[in-house]
Amino acid sequence: MANTLHFSATLQAAASPVFSKRTNKMHCKSLRVQTGNYNSVAACLAQSRSNRVLKVSCEAARVDVLEMSITNNQAEKQLTCVMKFGGSSLASAERMREVAELILSFPNESPVIVLSAMGKTTNKLLLAGEKAVSCGVTNVDSIEELSFIKELHLRTAKELEVDESVIAKHLDELEQLLNGIAMMKELTPRTKDYLVSFGECMSTRIFAAYMNKIGAKARQYDAFEIGFITTDDFTNADILEATYPAVAQSLHGDWSRDPAIPIVTGFLGKGWRSCAITTLGRGGSDLTATTIGKALGLREIQVWKDVDGVLTCDPNIYPHAEPVPYLTFDEAAELAYFGAQVLHPQSMRPAREADIPGRDMRKAVLTSIVLKRNVTMLDIVSTRMLGQYGFLAKVFSIFEDLGISVDVVATSEVSISLTLDPSKLWCRELIQQASELDHVVEELEKIAVVNLLQHRSIISLIGNVQRSSLILEKVFNVLRVKGINVQMISQGASKVNISLIVNDDEAEQCVRSLHAAFFESASLN
């Protein structure tokens, strides 16, 4: 059976109650654009400032526990899709009401709901933990972020007329945890994951209680209790294969015995060795949603966002960026990894593991231009590389030992140029960052001459780079006119990405110029 990829953006105009819906479907080798009114959702979200949806759907491979034939009269009893909502969609009681109304506006769906923490709760929790390390046990009550989190969740429960007892235990445990951090004067990655888990655990409990109050039977689930099994890489864990049958058995079993809308915490898992709570990295709720979709063999995964969807570039850099009408799984994965804040970088993995057909790559050259700032570049030069084997292994073993990821790589006969992943390095303390960079250079200088270059940016051109000669010709013509020097270039193995390294202070001008050349000129795209 052919697989289907859906990207749809649904948004409310500020002065109009009518939604427009842009749907892009991939059947076999192409995507079709369809438009139409979406009044039912508009009615539900009449009071919403904005709410837009990015929808991804695929025919994922069913796990063994779900391999069964479903007849027409049974199908209505099955879970049909995943709907994931981010923190901005849950930032207040009013937004939660709107999400509930939106879910109920699809009476023919039996969705699994995946929720993030409310608003900026995750950031507040992390900041509260950092303050607890230095404030002392007696001053934990005075941490502003703790007071904010308590007030937000208790106020939301009150406004939704939900019993505060659904989160009282978690608020008490949160305060106890911060007291423990203050006493130990230490915030380890393991403790940090436990700390931030309170956000999703409380938002899902409030929302599930509200759904039950309005007559929509719902059941709350913590992802780490229903089979989300991960590595023990705290703050950035990977989901293990054992997750799929475990999640399927848990959710499908409960649904079969007593149907109720599952309300699942995003972002969280359980380490397979430690049995401690882990997190999937920032934006990991998207990965939770696609994992559930694959585990249950669902045809549709809806990731609701408060942005316009995938655009041709960052609208903060170039306000005339346009929605992307065509997107493959490879392109979506590259866009997410290199900085597009629409999907979690790993969230496409479960969906793409099925046999996803590609689209006709002859139709367009570029899909989008993505900018990743604050990158560190290393030039590693050694004549020992010439005609030798094993040199690259020595270089990358140094990064492996330090747990540092590499973004972009280019090699020649006697040199290697690479960039370090800022999302893995800059999340650490400033002192630790400097120490690790010094250590990297120190180790590399044992085998090569090293030049460290900071304040660089990666500009990634996502699209049909099989026509790379046409792309590069236009790129270098544009940059030559603007006087911008490209310090490194690399083409990804996925064949949908060409990355350029430039100075940070030239990056935005570069993106604007390239966008004008590729998306506002009829000659190539």
Query: Phi/psi at 354 (nearest 5 deg)?
Result: -75, 170
Range of the domain at 495: 366-519
C-alpha 286/C-alpha 266 separation (Å) is 7
Measuring CA to CA, which residue among 309, 505, 524, 504 is closest to residue 514?
524
Same domain, 293 and 423: no
Same domain, 301 and 373: no
Same domain, 279 and 370: no
Domain boundary (286, 306, 326) is at 306
Same domain, 400 and 488: yes
Same domain, 237 and 384: no
pLDDT at position 351 is: 60
pLDDT at position 56 is: 39
Structure tokens at 376: 């560190």
Alpha carbon distance, N-terminus to C-terminus of the chain: 32
C-alpha 7/C-alpha 141 separation (Å) is 45
Same domain, 373 and 275: no
Same domain, 109 and 228: yes
pLDDT at position 494 is: 66
Domain membership flag for residue 132: no
**How many Cα atoms within 13 Å fall on the side-chain side of residue 163?**
6
pLDDT at position 429 is: 52
Same domain, 300 and 411: no
Question: What CATH number is attached to the domain comprising 432?
Answer: 3.30.2130.10
Which H or E element spans position 425?
Answer: helix 422-425
Burial class (CB in 10 A: 0-12, 13-18, 19+), 178: buried
Domain membership flag for residue 144: no
pLDDT at position 411 is: 87
Low-confidence spans in the chain with pLDDT less than 50? 1-76, 354-362, 426-427, 430-431
Same domain, 89 and 206: yes
Same domain, 388 and 252: no
Contacts of 325 (CB under 8 A, 6+ apart): 24, 31, 33
Domain membership flag for residue 191: yes
Domain membership flag for residue 473: yes
Structure tokens at 461: 């051109």
Which H or E element spans position 475?
Answer: helix 468-482
Structural domains counted in the chain: 2
Same domain, 302 and 373: no
Domain membership flag for residue 147: no
Domain boundary (306, 326, 356) is at 306
C-alpha 155/C-alpha 164 separation (Å) is 9
Domain membership flag for residue 96: yes
Question: What CATH number is attached to the domain comprising 67?
Answer: 3.40.1160.10
Only one residue has tokens 């898992």, namely 269
Only one residue has tokens 């009893």, namely 77
Domain boundary (288, 306, 324) is at 306
Domain membership flag for residue 483: yes
Only one residue has tokens 């590729």, namely 518
Measuring CA to CA, which residue among 332, 351, 352 is closest to residue 342?
332
3-state helix, strand, coil in the chain (%, to 5): 40, 25, 35
Q: DSSP string of 114-156?
A: EE--STTHHHHHHHHHHHHHHH-GGGGGG-HHHHHHHHHHHHH
Contacts of 64 (CB under 8 A, 6+ apart): 245
Structure tokens at 441: 């250079």
C-alpha 175/C-alpha 150 separation (Å) is 10
Domain membership flag for residue 334: no
Tell how strand 229-230 and strand 277-279 pair up: unpaired
Same domain, 68 and 208: yes
